[in-house]
Structure 1
Amino acid sequence: MSFKREGDDKSQLNILKKRRVADLLSNYIPEDEATLMNNGRYTCLVCSYRPVFDTVDTLTVHRNGKKHLEGLKGFYGKKARLKNEIIKRHHEKYVEAEDKRQVNQL
């Protein structure tokens, strides 16, 4: 599945990008696991070596592979740790603000 375009028509390029993103979503591939590159190919954001694929079908085959599934554990683990760290820092800021408020009331 190759999308070749002629000229530099920006609206044509945007239509092709939307079609490719729709292809990703139709194959149940989350947007944070794969992305569309400028050259119209897809890259896997989960795997550390960032493999590049020509079609959504090859990306789908890759997603069922051992390396990708191992990388998936680390990818979502890292995401969860980052989310927990953000929540922790917000809580620390809240506690500091409350402490300052109590000191000012005394």
Structure 2
Amino acid sequence: MSQWQRICKVSQILPGTGVCARVGEHPVAIFRPRENDEVFAISNIDPFADASVLSRGIIGEHQQALWVASPLKKQHFRLSDGVCMEDESRSVMSYAARVTDGMVEIAV
């Protein structure tokens, strides 16, 4: 059974952007791609650069899926599951994310 960690108000994440938060011991990138309350969470660590930067990436859509492009080396990670478009062996961890009563929560 998952426990949920409250992160912030969903209104504090501008649509089309991401933020970074510490969830347990892990830096997690949380994205709000649209104006609604849909949120996604993946590891914030870019496995190609070994840097905590994915939350600063650009969100885009490809083949009906949302992706974030790393701001450093431009690899793409699918927001729904962390799969890397260019090299699946370098995919990142994804986290269950939800909005409850206006608050973003991540499963730990």
TM-score normalised to the size of structure 1? 0.26
More strand by share: 2
TM-score normalised to the size of structure 2? 0.25
